[in-house]
Amino acid sequence: MLRTSKRDLLVVPLWANSSPQALQHEINKLDSVLLPLEQYIAIAAASEIADLNRYRIIRNEALILKSLGEARQKPFVFLLNKN
């Protein structure tokens, strides 16, 4: 799947005389790193966590990202889509 990104990147190469192909290669590598991160943040923005152990709903994106990154999940804690 070829995806064209619409993000603004300022790429300053360490080498002085870089070719346009080398610069495009660096931009493609940066895009491959940033794309999954952006999708992860988008999931956190469109979700909320229902914690039935504490009887609360978590809507804070930072707490949702932290909960998604945990290796072991607690029982009765659910990720819900806001849609």
pLDDT at 50: 96
pLDDT at 25: 84
Residue scoring higher pLDDT (14 or 72): 72
Q: 4-59 pLDDT, tens per residue?
A: 567 777 777 776 667 888 878 888 888 888 888 888 888 899 999 999 999 999 99
Listed by start position, the domains of the chain span 20-81
Side-chain-facing half-sphere of 14: CA atoms under 13 Å: 0
pLDDT at 51: 94
pLDDT at 22: 80
pLDDT at 81: 93
